[in-house]
Chains A and B, each alone.
Chain A
Amino acid sequence: MFVEYTWLVPLLPMICFVAVGLIGKRTPEGGAYLAIAGAAASCVISVLVAYEFFTSAAYHDPGYVTAEIEWFKIPGGFTLHFGYYIDSLACLMMLFASFISTLIFVYSKGYMHEQGAKKRRYYAEVSLFLTGMLGLAVSSNFLEMFVFWEIMGLCSYLLIGFWSFSHPEGDDAADNAASAAKKAFLVTRLGDVCLMAGLFVVLYSFGSLDYVRVFDAAAIHAVDQDMLVLGSLLIFGGVIGKSAQFPLLDWLPDAMAGPTTVSALIHAATMVKAGVYLVARCYPLFAQASEVMLFVGIIGGVTAFFAATMALNNMNIKRVLAYSTLSQLGYMFLALGAGGYLIALGIETGDHHLIAAGAAGYVAGCLHMANHAFFKALLFLCSGSVIHAVGTEDMRKMGGLHRKMKITSVTMLIGSLSIAGFPFFSGFWSKELVLETVMHASDYGAEGYLFTILWLLAVVTAFMTAFYMFRMWFMTFSGKPGHASEHCHGESPASMTAPLAILSAFAIGFGFTILFGFDALLSIGVEGPHHQFTVGAGEAKGFEYLSDIFGSAYTYLTIALVLGAIGIAHLMYNKRSVDAGRFNGGGESFVYKALTKRWWFPQLYDQISWKLGYGVARGVDFIDRQVVDGTVNGLSNAVAGGGELIGKAQTGDVRSYTWAVVAGVVLLFALMLALFYFIGGGI
């Protein structure tokens, strides 16, 4: 009874987008209340839909419910639809996206209060963004998903460049925002081209883009496996762009030029999760080949590690969080990759234990996705609260804020503990499950040893995560008040602290859902014949996870590493008994330079786009000048030259004209005579 109204979930924010755009100026706070109402209504409907979906037995058998209308037809037997497709994954995505959006919109009311007339633009764009996010979650086919995917890309571009016209910190910052927006748009575009190509491959192979028809075991079995691998890899290319994975990761740190609420909403909690969602959604395709899943895992593990290293010595509070977002997204892909790798091997060998272990990886990835959405949104909103109070993003100018901003300080500590994987916080459960799955994957298959390396990277990443998060917290909240801290005018307004409190409750508690049936709802089940995939077909392991996690020595290893990292951060940045400067060789050491220069990724981008772009541009320029212009100029020259030449015949001498006339008449006459002579008088 509620599921039929799923289409309202993305539609309500869309209506708010139009309403804020048209009449936002006349409502208080530039349309903030409209946007909040839209998001809250979507959230309520999402909850109702999810409640009905999870409780009604009618939906459990196929594991999904879908409805669609015909959108358009392509000659050749392709029909494209528009509709919704609800399963556990869509429910999870829809729930946390709409819930966090509502909180962030409420927070925005306080954070964007001083932006004046530009607030209307802000609330219109975030509403449109929410349409994209929720639409993506409930789409019933790849094309519809792609449309919403692109709407999000557009909103991301618009909101990163929110201050590109006039920045509170001056013109340089405004230019910076503009170029960051362009960079984000162009880099993700590279991925989107891959994704589109992937969709063409899927359409060509399956003859349809509808999830129900593509994720059908018989259909997958009938398709050429090489095309399937190609399509999966191309789709994953789009994921790499959207979720900022290696090597397209460099746009996300720059995207922090947007307002902090945008960073929290789009570049931490929701849009960048779209890639994770897509991989989880396309599991039936990806898990057909272990190579594809191995690739996913490697990309994830490498990103997790590299992004974490770059966060170690950054001084910008938002940049640190951006790198940690990248790193945590890497964890999700690592989990999904390792799980899918096990499932692919299990399908090959027919081993049900492997499939069950792989399903645990899927659960770990999804749980980490939801956990991360909560604690990273919390951390970003806390950093926004700090920036709002002190007016700078440079952590060296902060410090000692704990006394002035108690709520922000405590909630941020909770977020930091959660992301660091401190025992019994949300992040702890999902991180341990991820590491466990990767460890498990390393025991199987010919390429299993690669997962051993990835596991090591992930453990080191966990250590670094704890270190840089607490480095950030100590630099911001403890120690002597910095230059900017003195201007701090106390705690942020209640519209900002209330969302922090709610989110920190989730950052502590959401991880416990794994003990109370999260895995049953989100696990992917694999059944014959030809291996049908069903989301939400698993059995709840419940408290068995406790013995799983705490029965393993590796868990204690990571806990020890996390505590050690927190301790080191305490010594270096709180007690200051260890000089942090000793490790960077006065800013001269190779590693320090590598990290501040982001492992030379920006230079690499510049070089590639410069060399490649310049080469291509020169080729195009040559074709334009020589071929296109050549044709046009040649034609005009031929006409002009020919005219010149024929013009010479016009002497102006009347007698020569007469000669021409007479000669013509004589010629015609001779012709007539000849005709008469040869053909006779029969004409």
Chain B
Amino acid sequence: MTANGIGAPVRRKEDFRFITGQGQYTDDVTRPGETRAVFVRSPHAHARIKKIDVAAAKKMPGVIDVLTGAQLAADKVGNLICGWMIHSKDGSPMKMAPHPALAAATVNHVGDAVAVVIAETTAQGKDAAEKVVVDYEVLPAVVDPAKAQGKGAPQIHPDVPDNTIYQWHLGDQKAVEAAFKAAKHVTKLDIINNRLVPNAMEPRAALADYDAGNDSLTLWNTSQNPHVARLVISAFVGIAPEHKLRVIAPDVGGGFGSKIFIYPEEVVCLWAARKVKRPVKWTSERSEAFLTDAHGRDHVTHAELALDANGKITALRAKTIANLGAYMSTFSSSVPTYLYATLLSGQYDIPQIYCEVDAVYTNTVPVDAYRGAGRPEATFVVERLVEVAARQLGLDPTDFRKRNFIKSFPHQTPVIMAYDAGDYNASLKKAMELADVKNFGKRKRESARHGKVRGIGYSTYIEACGIAPSQAVGSLGAGVGLWESAEVRVNPTGSVEVLTGTHAHGQGHETTFAQLVSERLGIPFESVSIVHGDTDKVQFGMGTYGSRSGAVGMSAIVKALDKIEAKAKKVAGFMMEASENDIEFKDGKFTVKGTDKSVGFGDVALNAYIAHKFTGAELEPGLKETSFYDPTNFTFPAGCHICEVEIDQETGKTEIANWVAVDDFGTVINPMIVEGQVHGGIAQGVGQALLEGAVYDANGQLVTGSLMDYTMPRAHDLPSFHVGLTETKSPSNPLGIKGCGEAGAIAAPAAVINAITDALGTEDIAMPATANAVWTAMQKHPPKAA
């Protein structure tokens, strides 16, 4: 390991500009003649648009134009799409209802945009937006996924009866039924995975600029995957052909999945910029974000676990209703199916699994991937079932887990995934040591002396990351391949630019990717810069989500670096008059084998460009290589989180007394950044378990529409985390990386709820387990303090 190489806790390069206010976010970008877009949004969850009158609005000061859904349709702007095809069990394709960027006929959730005002300033735009008169015929709404399919539920989209998008399943139903018939014990749970609002620190934004001379468009936006945005906006929405549309995602302040998707606002800004022939900018306000950013989770599940006489799990089955909201967002269909049911084996050897998922429309904001995307929901089902089963059987929850762990690899689960490497006992053991589990009884008695009940909860989670082998996801319905590209440009002076198709919005790629290049080429860390987020610079890429940037994106860089090394050896061979096969490359030096003749990397770079030592017939000048890397498998990060809680018996308030996380992320490039990712993930998971939850009233109004009512986790809600690592390398990529971005959010909710129910001596408590909810539970079943 070099000082700044793989494994070193290097400080983040990008932080200087971020913490000194010099980051360049979409809203910081300005174009001459820029106008502002203000959207007119539906105050109703479900209504027919009878008439829109924009005459008065158009006359307001500073207004350039007021555009409606009817004009959007007349201009043949295409609908937004969901890019992952899911087929129902009967073979029929999912029912994707039209999603126009501006609603023309009906509105289907509060916040659905019906018109846009283009004005000189936001204030003028807002004044004008109030003058747009929309005549609505209000229709009944449904918000609860469990009630969306019933006879009484209003049908939201004309071609989607019962609001049912698909009825999907995975696994061998008959074998599972047989296993449950033969079971000695069955554990059952009803689980609601609460709906979450992402709340990235930077709200979404878009700036569209039309170049009339070239008939081309540029879009700056808050995207986790600018190339995918360009592809969808070109190929499906049809705003401009791909080569006439440049998408730039500059600095982006957090995404957590919510900025993967292609949203109506960016489409409208592009369309409007061409219409008014001036740049159009929109920056979401926080209250607008609550009503328009794709939400996460929102599953209603019944799950069962079958066990034999020896406490071995013989089968698992789950029936889930997944709320996809009013429209199908970009990847929404895949989240409750192939990102969920495929992980229901957890860390356990479960011979049979069967899962049914109904996806439904409701009159709520669309739901799509949010940190973990399907995998937190799966882990919550598995880890809650396992915990409750252990308690019902009178077994220690750690012994019960050990009894059922997968112990040999590779392991084929009954739900598609083939786990390639792991050591689940190792992470559990290390976590138990760090958490001082053996003295838990003592701490519980100590808490009791202060009127508090203490509980301990485990979560031995698994996830599938490194998304993903293209052929595999293609066979499951993905509309795109999930490889990654890299281009390594060595400059004549030996500095290096790496262009990557991944995108960083908090992950620190500028640092970690540079660590890889620095170590591999033996050049200073400072001599490497990472370029991402611009479709005119980077040839193509799939973006960042699903903990894929290390496992897939860095693998592509490794492949390009291999090619750089091969070419550089040729150059060095000409320089030292030796065969390229006799050149060795180590620590930034090219040496002729068995001699002391050597040249440095910088010299080779210069010679590659001046090309004085070889003819064009012998070797092409230059030192730049490209690679596309397609992984051979998902990666399977796994680990054990242990949460200890202390509950105030008088108020029901839960304090997290201790948190231990021991994760196996394979190779770790920068342990400091990895630790930060774990901290953030746990914070979001604790948020889900204790604090967060989007609440709609029966009319479809979002009750938790601001940070005054939607409880985001704060520093004071969290303890200092104790983070440890174990390591089994992923055999599926050259660096052995597994990925770390989502682990905390996946592991944490089950750990918290297992700890609280342990303290209370109850089987279950719903998320978020607020102080009020815990107090109410204690009124029904007073806990034993010690």
Partners in one complex: no
